[in-house]
A and B are shown apart, each in its own frame.
Chain A
């Protein structure tokens, strides 16, 4: 029944490691997003894909690389993790129209030690 799911829910890792977060939506939406919410609770968009094509790419270090194998999945790979990458990462999806709601996944809590 879960509309937007993410794995893992929690991720604790050492600096310098490479890790991936996966996202899947079963809503039939054609647009997916990655957001980062830092310790001050600011929620900022990182990337957006529409039908597997990158349409939004905010100023994000190139250690972050999104991949969309199909329109129901959007994964985020992070190379050479840094302390400042510790945050909650939310995946979201929406239908194509500009008026459509974005539905968020439960978040992945990343802690870099």
Chain B
């Protein structure tokens, strides 16, 4: 089966600009996650969707980050405006059941 797809793979922007990331989960996976992974750290959950509903967004900086999952399949994560500390790899993951999560290749964001 095809894995989790993400785009773009790399993005460089200046602070205060906006950026959007796209994720297509594994077919049939109802749960979708967005993580932020800062260099040298473990992934930190930003938002979790179950179908097209938000299950957990407690660690999403809502003043600048937003995410949606229309039709319960693809998802987009947006940052507006970006800050230097947003430089990280943004990972998307999906799961069908029982917590087994499969990760996409990630988008490496550099904010200058």
A binds B: no
